[in-house]
Structure 1
């Protein structure tokens, strides 16, 4: 989460707008979060004369929620428990993102929005940073070389792509100057703008574990600017959901080191253990060096 109050306020207001577009009228917040979020919109001592309210934000005037209605909703609708309802909500969100133009430079550059793919009831969600060229063409995340490796990693866990959910923080391919090959890292402000869509995907799917693929994805989710080597192997928290950072598959492709592959596999073993998935002795021995 961004540490700068102004940046955090902008992210929260973008999140409110995304919720409004999907028909959500309220969200569930823990009491500690209510106090913390409320403080963001209270006046700074000696700086302003009155509190900043959500009404002052550049949101459409109709059905505009107030901070009070978000922090302490009078009633919270029951979360969806059936697959059709979750699929319906995901499709509604997909349609909303398809027309998104919050980042005009990205909207002009993209071929299409790359929303996400997988099981609406997935227990495990993988997220990367942004679509690449191949994902932009096909409209599905992780379908290029790194995506093929991710598929093999999922299969090594005894799962299929259809069992999990795969997404990116950014739904558009980051733009590049004409004729420039490759891809670029998304900017923090781009991820902040698009993150509310991923938050809503997570809210709908309610995975038991999130795996952040790469340092950029981890920064976009948590604001942490640390290398994966320093944080991998340890579960963090993302709004109450365990979050495990590990190396991005593209990093494994560029650096085919057996020890690195073993580190990623050990991370996935932690996920399997947390999900109570069966683990064979053969699986436990993947990528171990032979003595």
Structure 2
């Protein structure tokens, strides 16, 4: 294993595993080396001073280097991996064994370094939480500072609101599954607080993890929270007003797009709350869940008053 200052794993025995090699389609040692350089430069930018490598990993890297030699290019090689401002092509993983579990997938994801800058800046990977056989899966944007610290999605203010919405639906967080399009908190410039929107390349790099989560959980309904989740899941860049309130599909799974809870924290009008609650009633109907008159009467339409 290689660690940054003996703390966070960046390069592991899985350096050549399908989880790492497959998404990048690395067919040469040169590209693997270029990617590793990007990781090391990211570590240096955040002040990392020491690296520790096991003999096992070094021997594997040397064996890879001996597998195929290529003529040197006349152009100077780039020290950084491809730009993550644009989405590269990341093929979806091949179907896993039926015995493959979320726990197994999570163990692989925890050592993910597909985005070197995020691997260097994150506290930990925020994989997902909830029922591994949930009928309903909520998909958000990316971890914030609270999620990055605690390792669980939606634990900040937006998470508390999402929990209230779930409970008002007659469910609990333990009955649903919650995750994000991006599993690492997007990095911020030094001295800057807050969060930023994930870049398309970051979403593309991380998407195979979500694809496998959906394949393992097999939810009956997916709820995309916000534009970023909708774009990442459906590949559609449309205004929220054109996406929400109607059923779409991810492969064969019904998808409903609605506002992210953080949007409701910024826009606390009854009109916006009514839209989200109407979407949740559609979800309950799709799941065949009973809806009480009390639930139907939340945020009634003005004409019904």
Normalising TM by the smaller chain, what interval? 0.7 to 0.9
Counterpart contact for 2:121–2:187, Cα < 8 Å: yes
SS of corresponding position for 2:174? helix
Counterpart for residue 239 of structure 2: 227
The answer to whether structure 1 residue 199 and structure 2 residue 211 are counterparts is yes
Counterpart for residue 250 of structure 2: 238
The separation in 2 between residues aligned to 1:108 and 1:179, in whole angstroms, is: 16
Alignment equivalent of 2:162, drawn from 134, 150, 158:
150
Decide whether aligned partners of structure 1 residues 273 and 92 sit closer, same or farther in structure 2, where only a CA change above 3 A counts.
same
Counterpart for residue 11 of structure 1: none
SS of corresponding position for 1:162? coil
Task: Give the aligned length.
Answer: 226
Counterpart contact for 1:125–1:210, Cα < 8 Å: yes
Counterpart contact for 1:120–1:205, Cα < 8 Å: yes
Decide whether aligned partners of structure 1 residues 230 and 177 sit closer, same or farther in structure 2, where only a CA change above 3 A counts.
same
**What is the CA distance between 1:239 and its match in structure 2?**
1.2
Counterpart contact for 1:212–1:244, Cα < 8 Å: yes
Counterpart for residue 214 of structure 1: 226
The separation in 2 between residues aligned to 1:245 and 1:132, in whole angstroms, is: 21
The answer to whether structure 1 residue 109 and structure 2 residue 121 are counterparts is yes
SS of corresponding position for 2:198? coil
Counterpart for residue 139 of structure 1: 151
For structure 1, the residue ranges without an aligned partner over 5 or more in a row are 1-15, 22-53, 62-69, 80-84
**What is the CA distance between 1:17 and its match in structure 2?**
3.4
Counterpart contact for 1:19–1:200, Cα < 8 Å: no
Within a 5 Å distance, the mapping from 1:252-271 to structure 2 comes to 252-271=264-283
TM-score relative to the length of structure 2: 0.69
For structure 2, the residue ranges without an aligned partner over 5 or more in a row are 1-16, 33-60, 65-90
Larger-Rg structure: 2
Decide whether aligned partners of structure 1 residues 209 and 98 sit closer, same or farther in structure 2, where only a CA change above 3 A counts.
same
The separation in 1 between residues aligned to 2:223 and 2:18, in whole angstroms, is: 26
TM-score relative to the length of structure 1: 0.72
**What is the CA distance between 1:153 and its match in structure 2?**
0.4
Q: Deviations over 1:98-152 (max 9, x none)?
A: 1111111001110000000000110000001100000000000000000000000
The separation in 2 between residues aligned to 1:56 and 1:182, in whole angstroms, is: 38
